[in-house]
């Protein structure tokens, strides 16, 4: 017998009309290794917004209860041609209680338990999830567990990736985000040096209060000099950036190269031999990334996504990371929320215009049952 509940869908029409809508969905009985989770809490992460709001115009959208219709401008509409006409669920992760399971032992063992899960359809009263990706939360609340995958595994993934690449220092361009603060705690635990870039003095204070040694404010007039000092002190030639657009990656490469050149004894027209590595793992800024010809040819810039990294790192590493998250759920890996909204509340103008800004430290939590 199918279960019925409210679920959010996002649909982009070929003409650029983006519709977010609550629908009464029927959830089939889980089979095999699936579980049916009654969702209690799901965060709105930047990675969710890519599909939820994207670059659409929500200032001039049509709002009605449980429904929003907005226009997606070019080139973002045609850039997403592959999803045109597809009604997509949203919400990467969340937490809730397992109310039905498939036949597998792994699935059956979760019956009745509160779990964190990664269904990709977490903005919903129910979600079908893979038992292998569920994390039993024990006595933790759904809110404690709601953000236990995307940010914790990403932050841990940076440190794991750095270790795999033989680095002992990392640069992070949005130091005071939920993920940034988490990364700072992980790095302190692991003795990994971390250069944090922030935009405001209070963000710098926050990080320093939490033990961060190298914090650089990009709004300061001497930002580049301070960044060079921090890189010089740490040898952080390896960084992660969630902004994507604009000149932040370029500034990091410049500072890295200037530090490397300052340590050279002889001039080379090709710049330093120091490999410089940056990863873009988000798109807080949709504008183009600009790279200037000012740091030679010894640099590499990549996109970074959690899933391919975990595939590369392997199951054993992934399980070790998951266990570490569970052990530190309310300490190292704690997330903080600005506010809570239900599914209808997610689709109000006030809420969308606020959470889509992805302001540092102002994350929303969706509670699908109110």
From the list 65, 55, 62, the residue with the least C-alpha distance to 22 is 65
Strands 299-303 vs 276-280: parallel, antiparallel or unpaired: parallel
Stretch that binds its own copies, among 61-69, 164-172, 231-239, 262-270 (CB under 8 A): 262-270
301 binds its own copies, rule: CB under 8 A: yes
> Considering only residues 166, 221, 293, 370, which one is a binding residue for its own copies as defined by CB under 8 A?
293
> Considering only residues 210, 219, 290, 330, which one is a binding residue for its own copies as defined by CB under 8 A?
290
- Judged by CB under 8 A, the chain residues 196 through 255 that form the site for its own copies are 244-245, 250
| Alpha helix ranges (H) inside 89-216 | 105-108, 142-146, 150-164, 178-190, 201-209
Tokens 């080379």 correspond to what residue? 268
Pairwise CA distance, residues 129 & 119, whole Å: 5
Cis peptide before 70 (omega within 30 of 0): no
289 binds its own copies, rule: CB under 8 A: yes
Give me the least distance between CB of 215 and its own copies, in Å please: 27
Pairwise CA distance, residues 319 & 157, whole Å: 12
> Considering only residues 15, 265, 297, 316, which one is a binding residue for its own copies as defined by CB under 8 A?
297
Residues facing residue 103 across a β-bridge = none
Q: Indicate the residue among 219 and 307 with the shorter CB distance to its own copies.
A: 307
Q: Indicate the residue among 88 and 334 with the shorter CB distance to its own copies.
A: 88
288 binds its own copies, rule: CB under 8 A: yes
Give me the least distance between CB of 305 and its own copies, in Å please: 4
> Considering only residues 111, 225, 264, 319, which one is a binding residue for its own copies as defined by CB under 8 A?
264
Stretch that binds its own copies, among 17-25, 126-134, 282-290, 332-340 (CB under 8 A): 282-290
43 binds its own copies, rule: CB under 8 A: no
166 binds its own copies, rule: CB under 8 A: no
Size of the site for its own copies (CB under 8 A): 40
DSSP 10-74: EEE-TTSEEEEEEEEEEEPPP-TTEEEEEEEEEEE-HHHHHHHTTT-EEEEEEEETTEEEEEPPT
User: Which own/partner contact pairs does 19-22 have at CB distance under 8 Å and 24+ positions apart?
Assistant: 19/67, 19/68, 19/69, 20/52, 20/67, 20/68, 20/70, 20/347, 21/66, 21/67, 21/68, 22/66, 22/67, 22/343, 22/344, 22/347
370 binds its own copies, rule: CB under 8 A: no
356 binds its own copies, rule: CB under 8 A: no
> Considering only residues 64, 65, 82, 209, which one is a binding residue for its own copies as defined by CB under 8 A?
82
Strands 87-89 vs 3-12: parallel, antiparallel or unpaired: antiparallel
Give me the least distance between CB of 221 and its own copies, in Å please: 17
- Interacting residues toward its own copies by CB under 8 A: 50-51, 75, 79, 82-83, 86, 88, 244-245, 250, 261, 264, 267, 269-270, 273, 280-281, 283, 286, 288-294, 296-305, 307-308
């Amino acid at each position: 017998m199918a279960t019925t509940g409210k679920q959010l869908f996002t649909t982009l029409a070929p003409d650029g009309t983006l519709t977010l809508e609550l629908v009464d969905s029927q959830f089939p009985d889980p089979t095999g290794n699936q579980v049916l989770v009654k969702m209690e809490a799901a965060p709105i992460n930047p990675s969710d917004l890519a599909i939820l709001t994207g670059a659409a115009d929500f200032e001039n959208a049509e709002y009605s209860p449980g429904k929003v219709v907005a226009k997606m401008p070019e080139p973002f509409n045609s850039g997403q041609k592959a999803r045109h006409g597809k009604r997509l669920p949203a919400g990467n992760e969340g937490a809730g209680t397992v109310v039905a399971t498939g036949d597998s032992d792994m699935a059956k063992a979760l019956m009745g338990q509160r779990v964190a899960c990664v269904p990709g359809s977490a903005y919903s009263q129910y979600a079908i999830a893979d038992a292998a990706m569920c994390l039993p939360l024990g006595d933790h609340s759904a809110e404690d567990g709601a953000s236990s995958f995307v940010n914790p595994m990403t932050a841990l993934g940076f440190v794991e990736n750095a270790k795999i690449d033989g680095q002992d220092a990392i640069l992070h361009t949005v130091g005071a985000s939920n993920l940034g603060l988490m990364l700072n705690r992980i790095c302190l635990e692991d003795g990994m040096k971390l250069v944090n870039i922030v935009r405001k003095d209070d963000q710098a204070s926050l990080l320093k209060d939490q033990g961060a040694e190298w914090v650089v404010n990009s709004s300061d007039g001497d930002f580049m000099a301070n960044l060079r000092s921090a890189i010089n002190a740490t040898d952080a030639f390896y960084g992660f950036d969630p902004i994507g657009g604009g000149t932040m990656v370029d500034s990091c490469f410049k500072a890295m190269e200037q530090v490397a050149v300052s340590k050279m004894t002889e001039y080379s027209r090709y710049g330093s031999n120091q490999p410089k590595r940056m990863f873009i793992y988000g798109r807080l800024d949709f504008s183009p990334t600009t790279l200037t010809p000012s740091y030679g040819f010894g640099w590499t810039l990549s996109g970074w996504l959690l899933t391919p990294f975990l595939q590369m790192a392997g199951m054993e590493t992934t399980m070790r990371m998951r266990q570490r998250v569970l052990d530190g759920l309310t300490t190292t890996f704690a997330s903080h929320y600005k506010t809570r909204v239900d599914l209808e509340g997610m689709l109000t103008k006030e809420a969308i215009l606020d959470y889509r800004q992805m302001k540092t430290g102002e994350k929303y939590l969706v509670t699908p049952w109110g």
